[in-house]
Structure 1
Amino acid sequence: MTIRTVTPVADAPWLIVGAGALGQLFSASLARHYPVILLGRQSAPPAIRLRTSEGMDHQVTLRRERLSDWAAERSRNEPPALVVLATKSHDTQAALDALMPRLTPTTPLLLLQNGFQVQPRISEHWAGPVLCASTTEAAYRPLLDPESELYSTRPDVVHAAAGETWIGDLDDRHPTLAAAVAECLGKAGMTATPCLDIRQRLWQKLAVNAVINPLTASHRIRNGDLAGPEFRPRIVALVAEIGRIMQAEGIQPPATGWQALIEGVIEATAANHSSMLQDVLAGRPTERGAILGPLIDAGLRHRLDTPEIIALYQATPH
C-alpha cells in the first residue's frame, strides 16, 4: 500500500494498540488532529488526561475500546489507515494476531517496540508495509493508591520529556509512507523524522537500553543514579561487550563512541524511571528478553564472549 497524499489519514482512523505510557502519549497527541481509536486490555472512559512536558494538564477526547471487543466486532467495516502497535514486545504478536481478521493484508503497521526482536519478525511475515520507530519520547503512567485523595485528579499519562522519533522500514522500501507518518506526528506536535537507517537507529537505542533498563530495574534506582562511581566498572564492561557486538553486526558507533552515548543519556534522563523499572514497580513483566536477548543471540551468532550481558540478563527481573 502506498500513501497518495502527504498524510496517511483522511476519514479512516489511526488504530493505536496498547494503552501504556507511549500508546496514550501518541494517542493524546494525534487525536487533536486525526481520528484515533485507542485499544487496550481494559474498558476506559473516552478521554486521556495528559500532563505535558511543560506541566500543563489537558483532557483529550478520543475513542477507546477494548482490543478484544474491537477485534470481535466483524460486522463493522472500518479498516484503519494505519495500525500503531504500542504494546510491550512480548505482547505484540498476540495483539496483531487478534486484529488480523479485521485488517486487510496490506494495512500499514508502525512498530514502537523496544529491542530488536519483533521488528524483523513482523517485517518478514506481514504482507503490507511495516514501519519501525525509534523514539526518545519519555512518558510514564503515575502510580497512586486508589485510596489517595489525589487519585481522581491524577493524569493518565505524564509526558516526562520531549524527544525525537525516527521512522523507517528495515528494507528501505517505504520512504514515502515513512515521510507521511512523520509529517503527521509533526503536525501533532511531536518531533519526527523519516530515515533510511532505521536498523542503525534501533540498534543504537538497544545499546542504550541494554545498559540503563536492566541496571535501574535490578537496583530500583533512577537513571541518574547510574552515574555513581560504584556502577562505572560494570557499565564500562557492558559497553565493551556491546561495542564488539555492534561492530560484528555492522552497526556504526556514534561519533563520540558508545560509552559517551550511554553516559550522555544517563545524564540527560537523570530524573527518569526507565521503562523496565516502571514495569517492575507496577508488577508487570519486563522486556528483559527483547532488550538483552538480541545481544546474547548476536554474541552467539558471531562467536563472541558476552559474560557481562549474560550475567545482567540472569539478574534482571522478568
Structure 2
Amino acid sequence: MLGTPGRDPVAVVGPGAVGLAFAARLAGQGHPVTLCGRSGTAPVSTVTSSDGHGTRTVEVAWRGEPARAHPFRWVVVATKLHQGDAARAWLERLADGDTLVVVAQNGIGHRELVAPHATHRHVVPTLVHFNAERHGRDRVEIRQDGPGLVIGDDAAGRRARPLLERTGLGVHTVADFTTAAWRKLMVNAVANPLTALTCRRVEVFGDPSVRDLAATMLAEVAAVGRAEGARLPPEAVDDVLAWLDARPAGAGSSMLADRLAGRRLEYDGLLGAVVRGARGHALAAPVCTAVLALIAALDARPVA
C-alpha cells in the first residue's frame, strides 16, 4: 500500500507546460524527478520556473525511450489528450501494482484514458486550474489565482494529496468530481477552439457576435454535461462568460498557443468529447458540431 510520499522519485510524463510545472515544483521540494518525453528530442536536464515569487532552476533526469524506464511509485501524466498512445506506452513501463498515477489532463474520463495500465483505485484524475506557459524546452512561467489543482474526495485522491500539496500549487478536494470536470470542460471546449480559430486572446469574447456564439456553445455543452450526471445550474453559462471577462488582459489559451507554434491541436478530447456525448444522448448540438468541423479542418485532420 502507498504511504506518504516522503521524498520518493516521481516520473512526469509529458514535458509540456503543465509537466514542466509539476517537475519544477516537485524537484524543488527534493523529489528526484524524471521527465519522460519523445524519443529523438533534445533531453531536458534542468527546469527553470518563474512565478510571482521569483525564478528557480532545478535539476531533473530525462528519459526519451519507454523501453529503458522502470516502475515508479508516483507518476504524473501531463500529456495532451491526443498523445494518449504515447502516455500509455510510458505507463506500460512506469506503472505496476503499487503505482499511483496522477492524470493532470484536460477533458473528462481521466481514468479510462490510462486504462488498462493503472486500475481505478490507483488513478487520481486531476483538474489543472493554474496557468502554465512554456518558454523553450526547459522554462515555464506559472500563474495562478486560488487552488491550482482539483481532485476527488476518494481513497486515491486522499493518498495523492500529500504529494500534490508539495507542489505549492494549492489543492482543492471535491465530492462531486463529475460536476467539477464538466465545469472546466465548458471553458475548455469553447474558449480554446474560438481563440484558436480567431487567433485572438480572451478579449475576443467582448465582441457581441463571438459572445453570442460562445453562449450558444456553452448551453450545448452544459446540456450534455447534465445528461452525463453533472449538476450544472441554468446560470452556468453566465458564470463561464463572467470568468472569461475576469481574465487578465492578454490571456490566451493552450490551443491558441499550439496553433501559433504549429503544433497539433487538442480539440478531439475537448469539443470532440462534447459532440460524441451529444450523439450518445440524442441531444442536438449543431453549433458545437460546426465549430468542431472548423477546428478539425484547421488542424488538417478528420473529425472524430
Q: Note whether the superposition's TM-score is higher than 0.5.
A: yes
- Counterpart of 1:13 in structure 2 is 9
Question: How many residues matched?
Answer: 291
Label 1:189 to 1:203 Cα distance change in 2 as closer, same or farther (>3 A): same
Label 1:125 to 1:282 Cα distance change in 2 as closer, same or farther (>3 A): same
How is 1:29-178 mapped onto 2 (pairs within 5 angstroms)? Answer: 29-33=25-29, 34-41=31-38, 42-52=41-51, 54=52, 56-66=54-64, 68=65, 71-73=66-68, 78-117=70-109, 119-123=111-115, 126-127=118-119, 129-142=122-135, 156-162=139-145, 163-168=147-152, 175-178=154-157
Measured in 2, the distance between the counterparts of 1:39 and 1:124 equals 19
Cα deviation code 1:187-230 (max 9, x no counterpart): 33110123332222111111111110000000011123212223
Cα deviation code 1:132-163 (max 9, x no counterpart): 001211011136xxxxxxxxxx9711113345
Displacement of 1:117 in angstroms is: 4.9
CA root-mean-square deviation: 2.3
- 289-298 vs 94-103, which moves further: 94-103
Displacement of 1:183 in angstroms is: 2.6
Q: Is the 8 A contact 2:134 2:140 kept in 1?
A: yes
Q: Is the 8 A contact 1:138 1:161 kept in 2?
A: yes
- Counterpart of 1:148 in structure 2 is none
Runs of 5+ in structure 2 lacking a partner?
A: 300-304
- Counterpart of 2:2 in structure 1 is 3
Label 1:139 to 1:11 Cα distance change in 2 as closer, same or farther (>3 A): closer
Q: Is the 8 A contact 1:123 1:130 kept in 2?
A: no
SS in 1 for 2:42: coil
Measured in 1, the distance between the counterparts of 2:95 and 2:280 equals 36
Q: Percent identity?
A: 28
Measured in 1, the distance between the counterparts of 2:201 and 2:53 equals 20
How is 1:227-242 mapped onto 2 (pairs within 5 angstroms)? Answer: 227-242=206-221
- Counterpart of 2:302 in structure 1 is none
- TM-score by length of structure 2 reads 0.87
Label 1:102 to 1:166 Cα distance change in 2 as closer, same or farther (>3 A): closer
Label 1:99 to 1:243 Cα distance change in 2 as closer, same or farther (>3 A): closer
How is 1:178-257 mapped onto 2 (pairs within 5 angstroms)? Answer: 178-253=157-232, 257=235
Label 1:159 to 1:20 Cα distance change in 2 as closer, same or farther (>3 A): same
